[in-house]
A and B are shown apart, each in its own frame.
Chain A
Amino acid sequence: MVFVTCKDTVTGRACCVVLCTTEEQNLVKELVGLSTRDRIRAIRGLSMSFKEKKHIRLQSHAFRCFADCSENVSLVSVSLIIKQYNTNNQVLIQWSCFKLFSQSFRRCGYSIKSARQTLKLWQSIMKEIGGRFGTSVLSYFVFLKWLLMFNIFSFLVNFGFITIPLLVYDPSPNIPPNVSFTGLEMLTGAGYFTYTIMYYGGYSNETLVGLVKYDMKLAYFFTIAYEFKCCLSCFPCLCLSLYSMASSFKKNYVLADPTSNSAWQLLSSWDFSITNERAVRQRKNNLRVQIQESLSDKAQRQLLTLSEKLKHLGVYLGFWLLSTSLVVGCGVSIYYLCQYEQPAETLLVPFVVSLMNLVVPLLYSLFNKFEHYSSHRRQIYALVVRNILLKMSILAVLCYYWMNVVAKKFSCWESVVGQALYRLVIVDFLFLMLGSFFGEFLSNVIGTRLIPRLGVPEFDVARNVLELIYAQSLAWIGIYFSPLLPAIQILKLFILFYLKKVSLTQNCQPPRRTARAAQMQTIFIALLFFPFFVGSLSIVAYTAWRLTPSEQCGPFRGLNSTFSVVGVWMDDLHEIPGSQWVIWIYENIIKSEIFYFLMTLIIMAIIYIFWQVTQGRKELIGLLRQQIVNVSVLYMCL
Chain B
Amino acid sequence: MGTTASQLGKDSLAEYQELTFLTKQEILLAHKRFTELLHKDHKGDPHARVPMDRVLTLPELKSNPFRKRICHVFSTSEQKDGSLTFEDFLDLLSAFSDSATLEIKSHYAFRIFDFDDDGTLDSGDLEKLVNCLTGDTDDTRLTTEEMRQLISNILEESDIDKDGTVNLSEFQHVISRSPDFVSSFKIVL
Contacts and interface: CB of A to CB of B under 8 A. Distances in A.
Nearest to A48: B91
A541 interface: no
Closest A-B pairs by Cβ, 4 of them: A632-B161, A248-B179, A50-B87, A269-B180
Nearest to B162: A629
Given A44-B18, A272-B186, 15 more contacts: A10-B14, A47-B103, A47-B108, A264-B174, A268-B109, A269-B184, A270-B184, A272-B64, A272-B66, A273-B184, A275-B59, A280-B64, A280-B65, A284-B134, A631-B161
B56 interface: no
A50 B17 CA distance: 12
A276 B107 CA distance: 26
A262 B103 CA distance: 21
Contacts of B129: 267
**Of listed A54, A107, A113, A273, residue having the most chain B CB within 10 A:** A273
B79 interface: no
B123 interface: no
Interface string A93-116: 000000000000011001101100
B24 A264 contact: no
Contacts of A114: 23-25
A519 B74 CA distance: 31
| Chain B, interface SS category | helix
B79 to A, nearest CB: 16
| Chain A, interface SS category | helix
18 contacts: A10-B11, A11-B11, A11-B15, A12-B11, A49-B76, A54-B15, A54-B19, A251-B179, A267-B129, A268-B181, A272-B184, A284-B65, A284-B134, A515-B180, A519-B179, A519-B180, A629-B161, A633-B162
Contact of B133 (A256, A273, A284): A284
A47 B107 contact: yes
B188 A269 contact: no
Interface string A181-221: 00000000000000000000000000000000000000000
Interface in B1-44: 11-12, 14-15, 17-21, 23-26
B42 to A, nearest CB: 18
B163 A270 contact: no
Interface string B56-79: 000110111110000000101000
Contact of A287 (B104, B133, B163): B133
A201 to B, nearest CB: 47
Nearest to A632: B161
Interface size class of B (residues with CB under 8 A): 35 or more
Contacts of A280: 63-65
Contacts of B23: 110, 113-114, 117
A347 interface: no
A272 B187 contact: yes
B119 interface: no
Interface stretch (A288-296, A437-445, A572-580, A585-593): A288-296
Interface in A34-86: 40, 43-45, 47, 49-51, 53-54, 57
Interface in B149-167: 149-150, 153-154, 157-158, 160-163
Contacts of A111: 24
Given A284-B65, A295-B149, A256 B19 contact: no
**Of listed B64, B76, B183, B186, residue having the most chain A CB within 10 A:** B183
B90 interface: yes
A556 to B, nearest CB: 46
Nearest to A636: B163
A116 to B, nearest CB: 9
Nearest to B145: A295
A467 interface: no
A268 B180 contact: yes
**Of listed A274, A275, A285, residue having the most chain B CB within 10 A:** A275
A393 interface: no
A265 B133 CA distance: 13
